Amino acid sequence: MFAHISGGTALSRRNYRLASDTDKPKVTGIVSEKLLSDYLHHVFPASSKQGPASAAYRKTLTFQDLGAHLEKLLAEDNVTEDNQIDGCLGPSTVVLDHSSGFEGLLFVDDDLLGVIGHSNFSSIRATTCVYKGKWVYEVLISSQGLMQIGWCTLNCRFNQEEGVGDTPDSYAYDGNRVRKWNVTTTNYGKSWAAGDIVSCLIDLDEGTITFCLNGQSLGVAFSNIKTGPGVAYFPAISLSFKESVAFNFGSRPLRYPSHFYAYTPPTTDLTKANRLLGYLKTVLSTSIDTQEEKLVARDGGTWQIQGDPTILVTLAHVFNHFAPLMCKVYLVEDVLMNFLLSILEGGGSVDEHPLIQQLLDLFWLLMEDHEVSECLKQLMMSLLRAYRFSPIIPDLGFQIHYLRLTTAILRHEKSRKYLSITFDVLRSVVFFYIKTPLRVKEAGLEELIPTTWWPTRFDKERDTREETSEERLRRRAYERGCHRLKKRIEVVEELQVQILRLMLNNKDKGTGEASRYIFLNKFRKFLQENASNRGNPTVLCPPEYMVCFLHRLITAIRSYWDEGKRRSPGSISSEDAYVPPQLFYNGKVDYFDLQRLGGLLSHLKKTLKDDLAAKANIIIDPAEIQATSMDDLDEDEETGAAQRPSGAVAMGGALARPSWLSSPTLGRANRFLSTAAVSLMTPRRPLAPPEKVKIRTLAVEHRTEEDIEGSHGNDGLLLGRPFEEPDQPITEKSLLEILDGVVMMYNLSVHQQLGKMVVVSDDVHEYAIALKDTDEKIARCPSRRPDILEELQKSQKVFAEKLNHLSRRLAWINATIYSKEKMLDVYWLLQVCIRTIEHADSTGSLFAFMPEFYLNVVMNSYSALKNYFSPSNCMEELPGYEDTLAQLAAILAKHFADPRIVGTGKNTIALHIRMAMMRNLLAPYEQRPWAQTNWILVRLWRVRCIYFTPCPSLLLQRHMAELLSQDKDMAASFLNSVLNQLNWAFSEFIGMIQEIQQAAERPERNFVDTRQLKVCATCFDLSVSLLRVLEMTITLVPEIFLDWTRPSAELLLRRLAQLLNQVLNRVTAERNLFDRVVNLRLPGLESVDHYPILVAVTGILVRILVDSNKQGISRAASVLLSDPCFQLRSIQYLLGEGDAGDAGAASADRKHFSLHAYTDYISTEEEQKVEQMLTFLTEESKQAAASTAPTSEDDLCPICYAHSISAIFKPCSHKSCKACINQHLMNNKDCFFCKATITGVDDYTKPASS
């Protein structure tokens, strides 16, 4: 053991009066004197030091002298313990030194042994150092990130960049990078994972440092370390941000003690505790037969407290000495926990071992309250550490053993309630976690799954061969191994659900408040701590723990829900579960600073107070929504925190600050919608005027069962039922709040963790492809190249070994995270959220109160089912999948349009949703993030656009055509925004490729930033998608551009022609900027090519110049040809008919772009239309050139210098062409020249006299 372990300070304890001075000397009053003496000598036998004594000659022992007898026996165990062990300097109780200027670290517990990194790279050392001998300490790894653990001297100075192992006199092991550090670094050891234990050993006699991982030596890491006078080594560690560990310097039994290194447990206390435990076992296994006047052996496992005064007084003497010892963590873990575990070793269910319940009754009966409280706390912490840091073995025996004892303890009602109050949910969550082994060999998965398998067919279209018999046998053997593993994991999961069901018991009201309501209030605080973006890292739950906790909680909730359904047939089953909408606005459930669908709650209270009164009978106190300045809010938060004592009832309240100005405070009531400011009328409207009821605002931990479940005339959590909500019992109201918390949990971190674990499946896929490719190369390798064959075989071996490892690890992950049962849990959660949204949506405007995370969970859970659980499980096989998918699509479409619209009928709701969604999609792009909207529109168009594979969305296209045709103002504003964004996106793209081309063609070595390449490709993709949207619009509603009776048609057509000509000129010129960048073939710019952008432009031109009516074609040709940027060569380029003279002789062999080359994508009919367009434009351009008259420079528009002046502004009288001023007025009403407000535009004709 690293340091001397002090006995600790004895807790004060009242002395039991166990015997009376007036008791008769010969008669006990309980049993006969002889029988009592025999019993006491049997329980408390003389030690071997006192010599054997026969029953005939030993002294009669009664309760009067039992105390002295016991003191004498225990005194034999006293051993003189030196407070200062040779070779060690510093306090005997070793902790981390928090007083020596170490910054950037947070301590997890009050024992100063657990720590979390809170800065870039923080270091800390212990309070005690060693200078000779052999020493060891253990580090419990809670996270597997970057850490350096080892030893350092007092002279070492660390900073945010250099830590343990980076200075000459410090030595460290880093299991994250699998290296050892002492200024320089070399490979060493194995990689560690969360749940591992690192032992750090130093031999100052030999000058060596060694590390062990889970008891397995990693070999000598450092030898010939500096020793001698003035040199002493401290245990030390350096951690990166959010990494966490816990140290064991000897205050608890070492998990992996080394017999050759210092090990000094508290010998005296340990011997006493074991001796007293032996006395207790003897009492449990001995009964007194008063009829026969003899002692009878019995099975200690069936012992019960039956009120026998002899036995109880005897036990009271034992506990008089035993109880103080059970307040010390070392003795609780080494003596008491091992004793309780031994009771359960016989197997069978926990119910078959009632002795633990009886012992806990005895603890509460014979120990002081503070003693039993401390004992239980240390016992559960010891169990938690044992469960969390036990190694994984094939049958999961360690985990099952510790969970069985935890279950047995929690079955004791009084102990369970005490632990529920004392333990926060964060610690309890550890018991619901099943860690994933990083090293499958040590976890025994090679024995459990001896045969591995992975997919070998990756493209069903190209590989149609049947599975071979060998592959089938391997797959079936692998599946059998996976099934065996899953069955063993299910045993652990069942125990975890039992523990959770005990914590959710709402019938145990015999000793105070039921367990469920204690858990519920703790659970809400747990969610609050994890929902805060600036939460303290010491209270944040790791996402991998959250995933397991969520699944166990869902199982427990559903079991209780269905039990309630059986008791109350009128309620709904868990299959139809949902969260009623009144939870979102009646203030009974705290949602902290989380965003609502309608924005901040303070805003909703102001705008929807009348709706709350009308629809839900809720009246907001005007004082609650009184406008206050931000300074008032700051002052209120500070003074309120100072004036209100902890746990006090908050009365009144002011508007809460947004989440970016304040973090939630534990234990406070909801400051957004304080129920102190909410008066609720009776849920049903009576004939008489409703009576207002004032509701108390309670801190989370002060809520009672009545506050949650309600009582006569009080609906508890469901106060304020809207009239649209059916008056039907759902389930116990406490389960509704827990279900709401489960949805929040999924949104906080579960979904991200599900996505993170998919990487193992992706790795299997990548390695399988690499192995298959290597096998094919080996088969093709010529016999004359043995060197290549040898390298390929080495690669084949590496890939196969990696796949064997990953396939076994994937089996574990599929069983614990992606199993069919876990998929059904997520699917159930998706259905719960869908039904909740539907019910909330039926309340009309009150839908705005719903927390935003419900919509997030709907989308994310569907994404998880589709992308994370496949192919191990098929989503289409889920029950009611098609109906659920239709519900999801309807909800997303309706919310996209307007979340407060209520459909009037089931048959017409789909039409309302579709039309509303399309109207929202066609809103001007400047009003919101537009890129995602544009991608949706492109997706709708993929059926009919030129050179696209059919993928019909005809119904939504028809809705779009109707809206654009009927609403002229909306059509004009929509197309104006599309043209503006196209102009921006293509201009940005051209600017970026110019920079890229200049960088790529510099003579010196250079690198183009990959981020710049990605942004450039994105701008190109946006340009193409915007062109496709324009193509769809022209196809569906050509009159927007070609019917010049519409006020904006001519302007839109001119802007369209201008942009099309600009794009064509930039893209079609030979050896220009675009052409050179495309030919560079830079990684990241694979999508940048002539084809996608030119076919989009071609599609637009064909629609207006070939497929339109005669008048439309004439107008389109006239506008296109009149644009100064029009070049016929750009149109000829589309068919590879550019002027050969322009390219020059040097490029005679150069491959030119031509739509004729893309026969797989372009039909013959489409090619003919392009040829027809080219012929038409050729003739029209000749005629236009012949009829164009020269224009004086003074008569040209001073804005574009392309068209003649044709408009005059009112009142400022400035002039321009109509096209320029009309385009300007679509975005700005001020004069282009003088900034005066334009009130009108008149036609202008140059006077003849001029």
- Determine the topology of domain 88-248 in CATH: Jelly Rolls (2.60.120)
In angstroms, the CA 574 to CA 568 distance is 13
Distances (CA, A) of 277 to 379, 604, 746, 1148: 16, 63, 46, 100
Which residues does 877 contact at the CB level (< 8 Å), separation at least 6?
none
Which residues does 134 contact at the CB level (< 8 Å), separation at least 6?
201, 202, 203, 204, 205, 260, 261, 262
What does the buried/exposed string (b/e) look like for 728-752 if buried means 16 or more CB atoms within 10 Å of the residue's CB? eebbbbbbbbbbbbbbbbbbbbbbe
Which CATH class for the 1195-1243 domain? alpha beta
pTM (two decimals): 0.72
Peptide bond just before 645 cis, omega within 30 deg = no
In angstroms, the CA 435 to CA 427 distance is 15
In angstroms, the CA 952 to CA 955 distance is 9
In this structure, how many other beta carbons lie within 10 angstroms of the beta carbon of residue 570? 7
Amino acid 888: pLDDT: 86
In angstroms, the CA 983 to CA 1226 distance is 15
In angstroms, the CA 481 to CA 446 distance is 10
Peptide bond just before 871 cis, omega within 30 deg = yes
Which run of H or E residues covers position 1098?
helix 1090-1105
What does the buried/exposed string (b/e) look like for 1128-1164 if buried means 16 or more CB atoms within 10 Å of the residue's CB? bbbbbbbbeebeeeeeeeeeeeeeebebeeeeeebee
Q: What is the DSSP letter of 49?
A: G
Residue spans in the chain of domains classed CATH 2.60.120.920: 88-248
Amino acid 326: pLDDT: 94
Which residues does 394 contact at the CB level (< 8 Å), separation at least 6?
443, 444, 445, 447, 448, 488
Which run of H or E residues covers position 1104?
helix 1090-1105
* Residue 929 burial class via C-beta count within 10 angstroms: exposed 0-12, middle 13-18, buried 19 and up: exposed
Which residues does 412 contact at the CB level (< 8 Å), separation at least 6?
356, 357, 360, 361
CB 139 within 8 A of CB 246: yes
Amino acid 184: pLDDT: 92
Q: What is the DSSP annotation of 1140-1151?
A: HHHH-GGGTTPP
Closest CA to 1051 of 968, 1173, 947: 968
CB 697 within 8 A of CB 680: no
Reported as half-sphere exposure (CB side, CA atoms, 13 A), residue 792 has a value of 18
Q: Is 198 helix (H, G, I), strand (E, B) or coil?
A: strand
In angstroms, the CA 193 to CA 188 distance is 16
Residue spans in the chain of domains classed CATH 3.30.40.10: 1195-1243
In angstroms, the CA 555 to CA 829 distance is 11
Q: What is the DSSP letter of 1196?
A: B
Which run of H or E residues covers position 217?
strand 216-223
Amino acid 377: pLDDT: 93
Closest CA to 202 of 251, 136, 291, 288: 136
Per-run averaged pLDDT (10 residues), the chain, 1250 residues: 39 40 43 86 77 60 87 79 74 84 68 85 91 93 92 91 92 94 93 93 94 94 93 94 90 86 80 93 88 83 82 92 93 94 85 90 92 94 93 89 94 90 84 88 86 73 64 92 94 95 89 88 90 72 93 96 92 94 89 85 84 81 51 40 34 31 30 34 38 45 75 78 85 94 95 90 90 92 91 94 93 93 96 94 88 91 88 82 87 60 37 67 62 70 48 69 81 84 88 81 66 86 88 85 81 86 85 80 82 89 87 85 83 74 45 79 85 87 68 75 79 81 75 82 70
Amino acid 645: pLDDT: 36
Q: Compute the C-alpha angle 6/11/15, nearest 5°.
A: 135
CB 361 within 8 A of CB 305: yes
